[in-house]
């Protein structure tokens, strides 16, 4: 009987040890799995960190992270290159140290630019940074508020773009536009000068022509006067039926017309005020045809006149 009880206790203890060992193996397996998961998460975290660092290094714009106490907690290499600071010189320093405006540096936090960053996101705010050497750098800043899981503001992340090249290009464009406007004005003035020069040359030519016409007119006027005088004398000696009378009258008429032409040349030379007066179109046509009549007959051309008597 005693032997049987002793055997049962031994079996019970053996079973307990087996269960303990089994549970220990399970725990070890879970620990091994957890360790593998932790190592995997650590690798992923390192990869994410390297990825983020590569992005920050590749950024050409300045990136600045400020905490809720206005202290700079992170900057990228572009920020350091822009401002000329080393990382240890700027981290945990107040963000106002990079502002160029002395007025902003003296303002309480709740009245400064930085308070605006905490209120909401800001896009393309023009602001001046100040480098370590004291250079004033125009920037355009965009920012976003960072919050924790409870929705509390824990900081602000801002990205700033250097506007020096943009402003230089704008200044160059403005200067080029001013030069273009100046060139256009010079071109316009040159054109006006050329026009005035052309007008002056034309006026001088007209004056020369007028002087020449006056000289020619005076030279022609004298023989025309003689022709008219002798033609009138000849006409007085001719009888009414004399066939020479019509030719003599024609000589007087054409000589008179030449004298009128000479008078107009002299008037042109003196540049009098133009005189406008009505004239019958039939009279003009008749006188014109009489001038070309002989030439037309010479070329075997017959002229037929059909004037309307009622024309003015």
Average pLDDT over residues 290-296: 55
Residue indicated by tokens 């005189």: 275
Does residue 266 sit in the same domain as residue 286? no
Task: Answer whether residue 181 is part of any domain.
Answer: no
Element (H, E) at 127: strand 122-130
What pLDDT sits at residue 109?
Answer: 46
Task: Answer whether residue 172 is part of any domain.
Answer: no
What pLDDT sits at residue 304?
Answer: 76
Angle at the Cα of 137 (from 136 to 142), degrees rounded to 5? 135
Assigned token pair, 156: 């602000």
Angstrom distances, CA of residue 275 to CA of 63, 263, 267, 278, 279: 86, 13, 11, 10, 12
Does residue 228 sit in the same domain as residue 243? yes
d(CA 201, CA 194): 10
Q: What is the pLDDT of residues 51-98, one digit of tens each?
A: 777 777 778 899 999 988 889 999 999 999 999 999 999 999 988 888
pTM: 0.46
Residue indicated by tokens 């031994």: 10
> Among 51, 100, 104, 59, which Cα is nearest to 81's?
59
Does residue 262 sit in the same domain as residue 217? yes
d(CA 32, CA 21): 16
What pLDDT sits at residue 135?
Answer: 92
**Chain-centre distance for alpha carbon 89:** 44
Does residue 268 sit in the same domain as residue 285? no
CB 186 within 8 A of CB 228: no
- Provide the residue range defining the domain that includes 286: 278-312
Does residue 36 sit in the same domain as residue 68? no
Does residue 33 sit in the same domain as residue 103? no
Task: State the pLDDT confidence band at 201, using cuts at 50, 70 and 90.
Answer: confident
Does residue 272 sit in the same domain as residue 293? no
Does residue 218 sit in the same domain as residue 257? yes
Does residue 233 sit in the same domain as residue 296? no
Task: Answer whether residue 142 is part of any domain.
Answer: yes
Q: What is the pLDDT of residues 218-230, one digit of tens each?
A: 778 778 877 888 8
For CA atoms 178, 180, 184, 190, give the dihedral sign: positive
Does residue 124 sit in the same domain as residue 79? yes
**Chain-centre distance for alpha carbon 174:** 9
Task: Answer whether residue 180 is part of any domain.
Answer: no
> Among 164, 156, 159, which Cα is nearest to 112's?
156
10 Å CB burial of residue 6 (0-12, 13-18, 19+) is exposed
SS3 label, residue 308 = coil
What pLDDT sits at residue 22?
Answer: 78
Query: Higher pLDDT residue, 102 or 188?
Result: 188
* Residues of the chain above pLDDT 90, percent: 22
What pLDDT sits at residue 293?
Answer: 59
Number of domains in the chain: 4
What pLDDT sits at residue 160?
Answer: 92
Does residue 242 sit in the same domain as residue 305? no
- CATH label of the domain that carries residue 247: 1.10.287.130
Does residue 46 sit in the same domain as residue 85? no
- CATH label of the domain that carries residue 158: 3.30.450.20
Task: Answer whether residue 167 is part of any domain.
Answer: no
């Amino acid at each position: 009987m005693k032997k049987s009880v002793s055997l049962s206790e031994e079996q019970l203890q053996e079973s307990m040890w087996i269960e303990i060992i089994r549970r220990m193996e399970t725990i070890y397996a879970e620990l091994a799995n957890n360790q593998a998961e932790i190592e995997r998460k650590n690798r992923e975290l390192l990869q994410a960190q390297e990825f983020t660092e590569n992005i920050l290094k590749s950024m050409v714009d300045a990136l600045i992270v400020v905490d809720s106490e206005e202290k700079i907690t992170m900057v990228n290499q572009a920020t350091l290159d822009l401002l000329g600071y080393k990382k240890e010189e700027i981290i945990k320093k107040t963000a106002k140290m990079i502002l160029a405006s002395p007025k902003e540096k003296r303002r309480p936090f709740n009245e400064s630019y930085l308070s605006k960053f905490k209120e909401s996101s800001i896009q393309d705010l023009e602001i001046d940074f100040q480098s370590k050497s004291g250079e004033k750098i125009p920037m355009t800043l965009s920012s976003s508020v960072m919050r924790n899981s409870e929705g509390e503001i824990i900081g602000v992340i801002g990205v700033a773009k250097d506007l020096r090249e943009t402003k230089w290009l704008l200044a160059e464009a403005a200067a080029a536009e001013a030069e273009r406007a100046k060139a256009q004005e010079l071109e316009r003035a040159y054109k006006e000068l050329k026009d005035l020069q052309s007008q002056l040359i034309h006026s001088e030519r007209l004056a020369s022509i007028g002087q020449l016409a006056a000289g020619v007119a005076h030279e022609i006027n004298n023989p025309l006067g003689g022709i008219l005088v002798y033609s009138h004398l000849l006409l007085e000696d001719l009888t009414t039926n004399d066939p020479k009378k019509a030719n003599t009258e024609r000589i007087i008429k054409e000589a008179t017309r030449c004298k009128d032409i000479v008078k107009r040349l002299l008037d042109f030379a003196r540049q009098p005020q133009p005189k406008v007066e009505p004239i019958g179109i039939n009279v003009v046509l008749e006188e014109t045809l009489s001038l070309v009549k002989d030439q037309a007959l010479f070329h075997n051309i017959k002229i037929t006149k059909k004037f309307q008597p009622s024309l003015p």
